[in-house]
């Protein structure tokens, strides 16, 4: 396989409701799509999940588009006999840029798998036709509003709920949700790196709410603080922002900084490294689940394929299309019995709704070999 051209599409997709985390509020998604065109006439899509600003990680969408155009796409386009497995090696001379690399790798992988007629789930080693999913609920102005929002999602059929927390919005909202929905609601929290060493004793009080896990309360490189919280709590600690590769994940587990891993392929440079991370975690008896970055149907399709692997034993942040977008870029994913079906068709297994893409398109750039 050889790439003949790559398009970088920028889209502006309004979110159906604002999403507030300790990083700030998002009301729309500035989406970057990588479209790979092959010499055999194939087309593959990869969604780059970098946020508009460098708050979740160093990457941001404008920078990712630049790095793809200037460095990553030319490095991959020069290759004859290209396969998705070669993308990480061809771009390894450029430090970091994992979300940009992941999007390019996924576009190549989608094209490759469509050509061979294999689904992404089958290629990765998925073993389930549908996967358990949950919903990630943003910070609200009041605790009453949070309880009402969670109630709405429960009515829609979400079985597992994740609450975003930050200093000043943690014990009270968690207690209220636990009280309103009872001890059987699978509930977890995500601090998105907003806490510091002085908060250790406070965070340990989350133990009384019977949570599934506490996700990334401290900064990405603060392994020691996560180890200390794990020592003080019986609730499992899960890492997100910290886990940038299979090797980093193994180190985090072995040092006791986490006993559960959130896997996001984009944070790790691609779906192939995500699969390796799944395998390493499984070897270390560490359950994993699939994180989310408010993906459109394209990224969601890939996440569903990943989440169908056997060690994804906890529900993922992979909600139905309607939780994010009024008009998704693919046929909408829907929730049935707390689960979403894994696409079966070749590659990502979805059809891109080009009419929707054209409607939300803000810019298009074509890179030729
Ligand atoms: O895709 O449903 C989703 C969002 C899940 O909470 C979610 N993602 O830290 O896990 C996380 C956040 C990161 C993105 S928002 C800044
Ligand atoms: Mg997180």
pLDDT reported for residue 162: 98
CA of 293 from ligand 1 middle (Å) equals 5
pLDDT reported for residue 25: 96
The answer to whether the beta carbons of residues 251 and 243 sit under 8 Å apart is no
Atom number of ligand 1 nearest to Cα 192: 9
Q: Where are the alpha helices (DSSP H) in 182-268?
A: 200-204, 223-232, 246-254
Substitution candidate for ligand 1 out of 22, 139, 292, 322 with most atoms within 8 A of CB: 292
pLDDT tens string, the chain, 369 residues long: the values are 999 999 999 999 999 999 999 999 999 999 999 999 999 999 999 999 999 999 999 999 999 999 999 999 999 999 999 999 999 999 999 999 999 999 999 999 999 999 999 999 999 999 999 999 999 999 999 999 999 999 999 999 999 999 999 999 999 999 999 999 999 999 999 999 999 999 999 999 999 999 999 999 999 999 999 999 999 999 999 999 999 999 999 999 999 999 999 999 999 999 999 999 999 999 999 999 999 999 999 999 999 999 999 999 999 999 999 999 999 999 999 999 999 999 999 999 999 999 999 999 999 999 998
pLDDT reported for residue 168: 97
Kindly report the length of the chain. Answer: 369
Nearest residue (CA) to ligand 1, atom 9 = 192
Task: Write the DSSP string, 69-126.
Answer: IIIIHHHHHT-SS--HHHHHHHTTTS-S-HHHHHHHHHHHHHHHHHHHT-BHHHHHT-
pLDDT reported for residue 360: 98
pLDDT reported for residue 369: 80
Catalytic residues: 164, 264
Buried b (16+ CB within 10 A) or exposed e, 127-139: ebeebbbbbbbbb
Pocket of ligand 1 (CB under 6 A): 21, 23, 56, 136, 190, 192, 240, 291-294, 317, 319
3-state secondary structure of 342: coil
Residue carrying the six token digits 């499984």: 282
CA of 297 from ligand 1 middle (Å) equals 15
Q: What's the rounded Cα separation, in Å, for the pair 64 and 344? A: 30
pLDDT reported for residue 331: 97
Nearest residue (CA) to ligand 1, atom 7 = 292
């Amino acid at each position: 396989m050889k790439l003949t051209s790559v398009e970088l599409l920028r889209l502006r997709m309004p979110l159906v409701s604002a999403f507030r985390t300790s990083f700030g509020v998002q009301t729309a998604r500035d989406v970057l799509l990588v479209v790979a065109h092959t010499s055999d006439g194939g087309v593959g899509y990869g969604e780059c999940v970098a946020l508009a600003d460098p708050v979740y990680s160093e990457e941001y969408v404008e920078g990712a588009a630049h790095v793809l155009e200037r460095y990553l796409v030319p490095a991959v386009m020069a290759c004859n006999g290209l396969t998705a497995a070669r993308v990480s090696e061809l771009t390894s001379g450029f430090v970091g840029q994992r979300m940009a690399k992941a999007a390019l790798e996924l576009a190549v992988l989608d094209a490759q798998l469509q050509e061979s007629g294999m689904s992404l789930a089958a290629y990765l080693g998925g073993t389930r036709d549908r996967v358990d999913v949950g919903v990630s609920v943003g910070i609200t102005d009041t605790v009453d509003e949070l309880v009402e929002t969670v109630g709405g999602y429960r009515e829609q059929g979400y079985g597992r709920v994740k609450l975003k927390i930050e200093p000043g919005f943690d014990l009270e909202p968690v207690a209220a949700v636990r009280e309103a929905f009872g001890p059987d609601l699978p509930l977890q929290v995500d601090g998105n790196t907003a806490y510091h060493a002085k908060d250790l004793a406070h965070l340990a009080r989350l133990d009384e709410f019977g949570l599934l896990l506490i996700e990334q309360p401290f900064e990405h490189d603060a392994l020691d603080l996560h180890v200390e919280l794990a020592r003080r709590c019986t609730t499992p600690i899960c890492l997100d922002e910290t886990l940038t590769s299979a090797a980093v994940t193994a180190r985090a587990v072995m040092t006791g900084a986490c006993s559960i891993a959130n896997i996001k392929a984009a944070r790790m440079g691609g779906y192939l490294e995500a699969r390796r991370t799944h395998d390493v975690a499984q070897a270390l008896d560490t359950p994993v689940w699939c994180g989310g970055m408010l993906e459109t149907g394209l990224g969601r399709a890939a996440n569903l394929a990943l989440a169908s692997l056997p060690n994804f034993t906890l529900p993922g942040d992979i909600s139905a299309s309607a939780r994010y977008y009024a008009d998704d870029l693919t046929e909408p994913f829907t929730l049935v019995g707390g689960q979403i079906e894994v696409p079966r068709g070749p590659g990502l297994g979805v059809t891109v709704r080009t009419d929707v893409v054209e409607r939300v398109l803000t810019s298009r750039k074509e890179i030729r070999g």
